[in-house]
Amino acid sequence: MTAKVLAERYEVQRQLGKQTGRQTLLARDLQTQKLVVIKQLFLGSDFEWQDLKLFEREAETLKVLSHPAIPRYLDYLEIDEPNSKGFALVQTYVKGKTLEEHLKAGRTFSETEVKELAKSLLAILNYLHKQNPPVIHRDIKPSNILLHSRSGNTVGQIYLVDFGSVQNQAAKFGGTITVVGTYGYMAPEQFGGRSVPASDLYGLGATLIYLVTGLHPTEMSQQDLKIKFADRASHLNPNLIDWLEWMTEPSLSKRLSSAKEAGRVLKNPRPIDKTPMSVQQQGSDIKLTKTSEFIEIIIPPQGVGFGLIALFAGWIPANLALLLPFIDNGAVYPVLNIISIIWLVTVVVMFLFALFRKLHFRIDRQQISYTSHLLGFRWNHSKPASRQDIRQLEIEQIRYKVSEITIEVGNQKYGLGGNQGLTESEIEWLSTELIQWLGLKIKRTLTDPKQNISI
């Protein structure tokens, strides 16, 4: 079968990719005998002028760019065939697999490799953003980054490809809003049609988060548009986590503003404030301490209540039989004595718990733990579990006018609330703090005590 030849020069080898109205081919340049990539845009029923503008812009941008990590412009063709009409952009072929392909093949990236990737990509972005006018890629993501020639000491050669979404800051579309990018990697301002150099930093940060967590950014929870990934990257140095959070800050005014600045901070991290901050609600004895690394809630002893006093008071008249042998050498009733002793020991233990036991509830980057502390002794109130297994927070009504914060972790639940004597205002306060720190939403389950119906 004779291979197809475009423009009497490019012999098609195989198809690399295909989308509606587009396809990407691997071809051989019959003049140079080198492999090239041909991107085609067809004038079909799905054709839009916006697509042609972006296609032409990609070609014009590649013409003026000269960087070893960016494909080089070679040719621009008009396709005029009986069954297809359109345009083709010819560029140099870069051998390698995308980061997306590496991840799907099971490759993992160490912290050193992630930093090496970050430095190389920041150098490319710095080159693009220093053009006059600045060139903004607008679609930084794992499938647009190629990796080749991995060695024992380096992560490999890095290339940034697919400039189909590129924009220079002088380009306008007659006042229309152009939203281009990939959901999950697009900075919030891009949804409004605005792109600046810091928009590419957001895409890079989201890409690196994918590398260190193995999860697409849309698969992770968010709080105020912030990607909450730190619990899944606990193996990383806190400084790198802080840097990634800074790169993906939703607010432009708070995000790193340039590739040069991002590279400087990556090399010389900003100090992270690990000083614990204590938070206390007025009128509450509960102590809450939090940093970027952990949140801990200490619930003080509940104190002796009326029920416990009544239980102890009832022991005296009910157990005269235990006292009589010591008074008049009368008969001893062994069974009654054993029951009375057990009763007394139980009441004493309950008094100790009520007066001295503290509950420590703690979540850090690795795990969630719930321990009891009593007179120097410590034991698990609930079995420790991995923080990554936290599924949801819920305020659940367990009895009439008694609620509890329930945290689902895998197959078990942790309860904070009614059984520890917390008030409704304390439950609301603690739930708010946990929601903000974990970046999770909360579910509320209210039960109608008359009909036992969950709302």
CB 248 within 8 A of CB 231: no
CA atoms within 13 A on the CB side of 377: 9
Order of strands across the sheet with 97-98?
97-98, 145-148, 157-160
Contacts of 278 (CB under 8 A, 6+ apart): 287, 288, 289
- Quick one: how far is CA 123 from the chain centroid? 25
Write out the catalytic residue numbers. Answer: 139
Round to whole Å and give the CA distance between 54 and 167: 8
In the DSSP assignment, the letter for residue 186 is S
Contact 36, 57 (CB under 8 A): no
- The span from the CA of 222 to the CA of 109, in Å, is 24
Tokens, residue 95: 């051998």
Strand partners, 79: 86
Residues 418 and 399 sit within 8 Å (Cβ to Cβ): yes
Nearest to 11 by CA among 62, 78, 32: 32
Cross-strand pairs, 371: 360, 380
Tokens linked to 408:
């689902």
If DSSP codes are grouped into helix, strand and coil, which group holds residue 52? helix
Indicate the burial class of 344 (C-beta count within 10 angstroms; 0-12, 13-18, 19 or more): middle
Antiparallel, parallel or unpaired: β 22-29 and 402-409: unpaired
Rounded Cα–Cα distance for residues 286 and 274 (Å): 21
Indicate the burial class of 405 (C-beta count within 10 angstroms; 0-12, 13-18, 19 or more). buried
**What are the C-alpha distances in Å from 295 to residues 369, 393, 403, 404, 436?**
11, 15, 21, 18, 11
What CA–CA distance (Å, rounded) separates 52 from 48? 7
Alpha-carbon distance of 349 to 377, in angstroms, equals 14
The partner residues of 395 in beta bridges, in order of sequence, read 405, 444
